[in-house]
Structure 1
Amino acid sequence: MIGIIGATGTIGDALLKRLVDLDVPARALSREPEKLRARLGEKDRTMIEVAYADAGEPESLRHALNGVNQLFMAMSNSPDQIVLETSIIQAAVECGVEHIVKISSPEFERKSPVAVAGWHQEIERNLSESGLICTVLRPYAFMQNLLRLAPLIAEQNIFFGSMGDSPCNFIDCRDIADVAAEVLTNRKASGQIYTLTGSETFSYPHIAGMLTVLLERPIRYINLPSQELYRNLIEQGQLPPWIANHVIEIQAMAIVIPERPTDTIRQLLHREPRTLAAFLQEHQETFSLSRA
């Protein structure tokens, strides 16, 4: 049985759909199981069990992991991440789970440290010392996160950042989910660390140009000093300081350590990754919401 922690997240939701398509049964662990059940389609309910579990309640984890031999773990980033994911790993060991697939982050870089990457680095270390088979997926920036820019783009035809014209790796969360499904269903692919990107890098000015063509109106990228972007994210974006700081750190890293695409998706899935152009086309209405 495959257990899924993070089933309501973007990657976890896509993984559930992929496993249903493959006719692979799974158990989705959630703090709000009734809400999750309500989201499942008719076929989904025949393939997907839903169980209550809270990473802060070890007994609930042990109960939900009973009979699970593989576990997918995609927790939302938070300051409690090390404690929560380590608790999950410990419960998995106690329950006889054999293989954990963890969503991590790009490798921690001392030249341009990112706090969240440091958290993941410690969790990866704990996982490697657990004695379980572990597969670590290290995706770069999610295409889906660009949708957070959509309200400002729709209303004012602008968006902000602080990484100038540095190239950035983007990946569709559905490709991450497809990789997760592959390593969960093909033991030959498990037990590795995979760095996941799309097939191209894109700077924010490049993305502004793509949106200009797609939306048939000028879209501008405005580069801000890091501290100004930090204040904007907190005051206008209503982000907690630690998340605003994370955005600043990952954009600074893209400047210090130029990003390059990998061919991991092609090697594992024997197809090309989903493209940013196709993703933006798929969500064209979202970027035009106020003009509909």
Structure 2
Amino acid sequence: MIVIMGATGATGGATLRSLAALGTPSRALSRDPARLAAALDDGTLARTETVPADAADPASLRAAFRGAHQLLLTMANGPQQVRYELNAIDAAVACGVEHVVKISAPAAEPDSPVAVSRGHHLVEERLRASGIRTTVLRPYAFMQKLLLQAPGIAASGLIPSATGGARCNYVDVRDVGDAATEVLTRPELAGGAYPLTGGQAYSHPELAALLGELLGRPVHHLALSPSALHAHLVARAGMPDWLASHVVEIQQLAVARPEAPDGTFTRLTGRSPRTLEAFLGEHVHHFR
């Protein structure tokens, strides 16, 4: 049995749908299983067992993990992420889980300039010490996160960033779910570490031009300092302080460590990743 933590989140939900499309059953954990079940399409729900569990409650995790052989560990970024994921690892060890697929991040290092990535490093270290076979997926920025800025872009016609002309990798979270499904269902892939990107990296000026072409009106890049971008994201996009800091940090990482697409996703799945053009075209109404 495959257990999905973070099943109500974007990556967990994408993995549930991908597993169901293959006919592979899974067990999805949620503090509110009825709400989770109501959000799933009929095909996914037919292959999914929804179980109550709370990442803050180790006893509930141990109950939910019983009989499981594999775990997808994907909790939302946030101040409690490390604590919740460490709880899950302890429960996995106690229940004899044999394989954990950890959704991590690029630059998951002890001295990473990205605070969230330092947390991922701590979780990976605990997994290594646990003795459980571990596969690590390292997706770059989710295309879906661009939607957080859509209202502000729609109102102002501006895309703010502190990246200058540096290019950033973007990956569709549905591709992350597909990659997770591959490593959960193909034992020969277990134990590796896999970066995940789209097929092309974009600078923010290039992103503005692409969005303007789709909208049929000009969209411009607004170049800001890191501190000004943080203030803009809090005041204009309504982001909490920690999330605005995270956005600034990953943009500064792209400046310090130039990003380029990687072919790992295609090697895992046998197909090309979804494109940013297709994603924005699918969601262009959010930017109008």
By the TM > 0.5 criterion, same fold? Answer: yes
* In structure 2, distance between residues paired with 1:112 and 1:138: 14
Q: Which one is further off, 88-97 or 105-114?
A: 105-114
The alpha-carbon deviation at position 131 of structure 1 amounts to 0.7
User: What is the one-letter code of the residue matched to 1:219?
Assistant: V
Residue 55 (structure 2) pairs with residue 61 (structure 1): no
**Over the residues paired in the alignment, what is the CA RMSD in angstroms?**
1.3
Taking structure 1 as the reference length, the TM-score comes to 0.95
Residue 240 (structure 1) aligns with = 240
User: What is the one-letter code of the residue matched to 1:255?
Assistant: V
The alpha-carbon deviation at position 111 of structure 1 amounts to 8.2
Residue 116 (structure 1) aligns with = 116
The alpha-carbon deviation at position 124 of structure 1 amounts to 0.5
How do residues 1-292 of structure 1 correspond to structure 2 at under 5 angstroms? 1-108=1-108, 113-288=113-288
Per-residue CA deviations over 1:12-45 (Å, capped at 9, x if unaligned) read 1111111111110000001111100111233333
* In structure 1, distance between residues paired with 2:108 and 2:12: 24
User: What is the one-letter code of the residue matched to 2:151?
Assistant: P
Q: Which one is further off, 168-177 or 235-244?
A: 235-244
- 5+ residue gaps, structure 1, are none
Per-residue CA deviations over 1:157-190 (Å, capped at 9, x if unaligned) read 1121111110101111111100000000000011
Q: Which one is further off, 183-192 or 225-234?
A: 225-234
* In structure 2, distance between residues paired with 1:128 and 1:195: 18
Per-residue CA deviations over 1:82-116 (Å, capped at 9, x if unaligned) read 22111100100101111110100112468861111
Cα distance 1:9–1:162, how it changes in 2: closer, same or farther (>3 A)? same
* In structure 2, distance between residues paired with 1:60 and 1:114: 31
> Is this contact kept in 1: 2:111–2:118, CA < 8 A?
no
* In structure 2, distance between residues paired with 1:176 and 1:268: 11
The alpha-carbon deviation at position 207 of structure 1 amounts to 0.6
User: What is the one-letter code of the residue matched to 1:30?
Assistant: S
Per-residue CA deviations over 1:174-214 (Å, capped at 9, x if unaligned) read 11100000000000011111111111110000010111111
SS at match of 1:29: strand
> Is this contact kept in 2: 1:111–1:256, CA < 8 A?
no
User: What is the one-letter code of the residue matched to 1:216?
Assistant: G
* In structure 1, distance between residues paired with 2:197 and 2:230: 26
> Is this contact kept in 1: 2:112–2:118, CA < 8 A?
no
> Is this contact kept in 1: 2:152–2:237, CA < 8 A?
no
> Is this contact kept in 2: 1:205–1:220, CA < 8 A?
yes
- 5+ residue gaps, structure 2, are none
> Is this contact kept in 2: 1:99–1:132, CA < 8 A?
yes
> Is this contact kept in 1: 2:149–2:237, CA < 8 A?
no
* In structure 2, distance between residues paired with 1:276 and 1:231: 27
Cα distance 1:186–1:234, how it changes in 2: closer, same or farther (>3 A)? same
* In structure 2, distance between residues paired with 1:115 and 1:45: 35
* In structure 2, distance between residues paired with 1:267 and 1:180: 13
Taking structure 2 as the reference length, the TM-score comes to 0.97
Q: Which one is further off, 174-183 or 237-246?
A: 237-246
Per-residue CA deviations over 1:26-82 (Å, capped at 9, x if unaligned) read 000011111001112333332100001111101100111111110101101122222
SS at match of 2:268: helix
Cα distance 1:49–1:100, how it changes in 2: closer, same or farther (>3 A)? same
